[in-house]
A and B are shown apart, each in its own frame.
Chain A
Amino acid sequence: MKLSTKKKIYQGIAFNLFRLMSGILVVVLISILSFIVVRGIGVISWDFITKMPEDGMTKGGIYPAIIGTLCLVAGSMLFAFPVGVLSGIYIHEFVKDNWFKRFVKLMTNNLAGVPSIVFGLFGMSLFVNTLGFGDSIIAGSLTLGLLALPVIIRTTEESLKSIDNVFREGSYALGATKIQTIRRVVLPLAMPNIITGFILSIGRVSGETAPILFTVAAYFLPKLPSSIFDQVMALPYHLYVLSTSGTDMEASRNMAYGTALVLIIIVLLLNLIANFTRSYLSKKVKH
Chain B
Amino acid sequence: MKKIFEKVIEGILMLSGTVTTLTVLLIIFFLFKEGIGLFGKSPTEEGFTVAVNRENPVNELSTDQIKNIFDQNIHNWNEVGGNNDSIILFRMDDLFNYYTEEELAGIDTNMNLLTSKIDEVIDKNKGIIAFISSKEIPQNPNSKLIHIKAIGLGSFFGGKEWFPTAQPVAQFGVYPLLMGTLWVSLLAILIALPFGLATAVYMAEIASPGVRSVLKPVIELLAGIPSVVYGFFGLIVVVPLVQQIFALPVGETGLTGSIILAIMALPTIITVAEDAIRGTPRSVKEASLALGASQWQTIYRITIPYASSGITAAVILGIGRAIGETMAVLMVTGNAAVVPHSILEPMRTIPATIAAELGEAAKGSLHYDALFALGCILFIITMIVNLTVQMISGKRTRNKLR
Question: Which of A29, A240, A253 is most buried by chain B, counting CB atoms within 10 A of its CB?
Answer: A240
Contacts of B371 in A (CB 8 A): 121
Chain B residues within CB distance 8 Å of chain A:
2, 5-6, 9-10, 12-14, 16-21, 23-24, 26-27, 30-31, 33-34, 194-195, 198-199, 201-203, 206-207, 215, 217-218, 220-222, 224-233, 235-237, 263, 266, 294-297, 299-300, 317, 320, 323-327, 331, 351, 354-355, 358-359, 363, 371-372, 375, 378-379, 382-383, 385-387, 389-390
A22 to B217 Cα, complex, angstroms: 14
A-B pairs, 7 with minimum CB distance: A115-B324, A207-B226, A90-B17, A86-B16, A11-B296, A21-B198, A90-B13
Closest B residue to A243 by CB, please name it: B232
A28-B263, A107-B24, A116-B324 known; A177 vs B206 contact (CB < 8 Å): no
A22-B199, A28-B263 known; A83 vs B221 contact (CB < 8 Å): no
A145 to B287 Cα, complex, angstroms: 48
A223 interface contact, C-beta 8 A: no
Say what secondary structure dominates the interface of chain A. Answer: helix
- Interchain CB contact (< 8 A) of A260 among B13, B194, B232: B232
Query: A243 near B231 (CB under 8 angstroms)?
Result: yes
A94-B14, A110-B386, A204-B224 known; A149 vs B232 contact (CB < 8 Å): no
Query: B27 near A122 (CB under 8 angstroms)?
Result: yes
Query: B225 near A115 (CB under 8 angstroms)?
Result: no
Query: A22 near B6 (CB under 8 angstroms)?
Result: no
Question: Which of B2, B224, B320, B382 is most buried by chain A, counting CB atoms within 10 A of its CB?
Answer: B224
Chain A residues within CB distance 8 Å of chain B:
7-8, 10-11, 14-15, 17-19, 21-22, 24-26, 28-29, 32, 35-36, 82-84, 86-87, 89-91, 94-95, 103-104, 106-122, 124-126, 129-130, 146, 149-150, 153, 177-179, 200, 203-204, 206-210, 213-214, 236-237, 239-240, 243-244, 253, 256, 260, 263-264, 267-268, 270-271, 275
Query: B195 near A207 (CB under 8 angstroms)?
Result: no
A84 to B294 Cα, complex, angstroms: 47
Query: A22 near B331 (CB under 8 angstroms)?
Result: no
Query: A26 near B218 (CB under 8 angstroms)?
Result: yes
Query: B375 near A117 (CB under 8 angstroms)?
Result: yes
Chain B nearest CB: distance from A98 CB in Å? Answer: 13
Question: Which of B6, B33, B225, B354 is most buried by chain A, counting CB atoms within 10 A of its CB?
Answer: B225
Contacts of B5 in A (CB 8 A): 179
Q: List 29 A-B contacts (CB under 8 A).
A: A7-B297, A11-B296, A14-B299, A22-B202, A26-B215, A29-B218, A29-B222, A87-B16, A87-B20, A90-B13, A94-B13, A106-B387, A109-B390, A110-B383, A113-B317, A113-B324, A115-B351, A118-B378, A121-B358, A125-B34, A130-B30, A149-B23, A209-B226, A239-B232, A240-B231, A267-B221, A271-B217, A271-B220, A271-B221
